[in-house]
Amino acid sequence: MYIIMRPLNNWNMIGALIAIIFINVNFGNKAGTPPALAFNYYPYISNGSLFINNTHIHHWLICFSLLIFTLPLQITNKNPFLLITNGFLSVLMVQGLLYEDRFDF
């Protein structure tokens, strides 16, 4: 089992630490309120939230979608950028799932 699923390493922890700092700076808010670093790019981004066909796409879903592709790469590829990214995305996904409106699209 150890050969297939290697434990988190220091690079993953650095990514997780960066995510915690990013969350405290940007997402220190309640569900439904815009993040501190919100920007707009009509029609896709409104107050820092991604919308596709007027459906809100939560940041935890974006992180989960990216992790589906990047986590398997971590088994064979020990690129520090990939490892930091996976740690960052993992923490950001868990943080997004802690919101009460996590399944409201």
Q: Indicate left, alpha or beta for 17 from its phi (over 0: left) and psi (-120 to 50: alpha).
A: alpha
Mean pLDDT highest for which of 41-45, 67-71, 95-99?
67-71
Full-model pTM: 0.77
In this predicted structure, the answer to whether residue 64 has a pLDDT above a threshold of 90 is yes
45-46 and 49-52 strand pairing: antiparallel
Question: How many Å apart are CA 51 and CA 43, to the nearest integer?
Answer: 7
In this predicted structure, the answer to whether residue 39 has a pLDDT above a threshold of 90 is no
Of all helices (H) and strands (E), which one includes residue 72? helix 59-76
Question: How many Å apart are CA 28 and CA 32, to the nearest integer?
Answer: 12
Tell me the pLDDT of the chain averaged across its residues. 81
